[in-house]
Amino acid sequence: MSYDSHTTEIQNLVDELIELYLAQAADLREFAQAKAAEEGTINLERTLRRRETRRVEIYRKFENTAFTPPAQ
């Protein structure tokens, strides 16, 4: 992988993480509002768990990409 494509891959993973963090924050806010209104939260709980699993996957890819030098 060239230096440029390595850098691009890192930037893409960071963008994915940012997007996911924003979605998680919105989900957490919605979850808190639903709890306060004593509404059902099962679907929100599933969504939160799926997003967290995805975040872990993306972050692992980020670590592997960002902390490994690009191939020459």
Is 72 a member of any domain?
A: no
Residue 19, domain member (yes or no): yes
Token code pair at residue 70: 């690009």
The amino acid sitting at 68 is T
Indicate left, alpha or beta for 71 from its phi (over 0: left) and psi (-120 to 50: alpha). beta
Is residue 57 included in any domain, yes or no? yes
Distance between CA atoms of residues 34 and 40, nearest Å: 7
Is residue 34, in this structure, part of any structural domain at all? Answer: yes
Which residue range forms the structural domain that includes residue 35? 3-66
In a domain, 71, yes or no: no
In tens, the pLDDT along 29-41 reads 999 999 999 998 8
Q: What is the pLDDT of residue 68?
A: 85
Separation in Å, CA 28 to CA 20, 25, 34, 47, 70: 12, 5, 10, 10, 36
pLDDT at residue 72 tops 90: no
The mean pLDDT of 52-60, rounded to a whole number, is 97
pLDDT tens, residue by residue, 5-21: 889 999 999 999 999 99
Count up the domains in the chain and report the number: 1
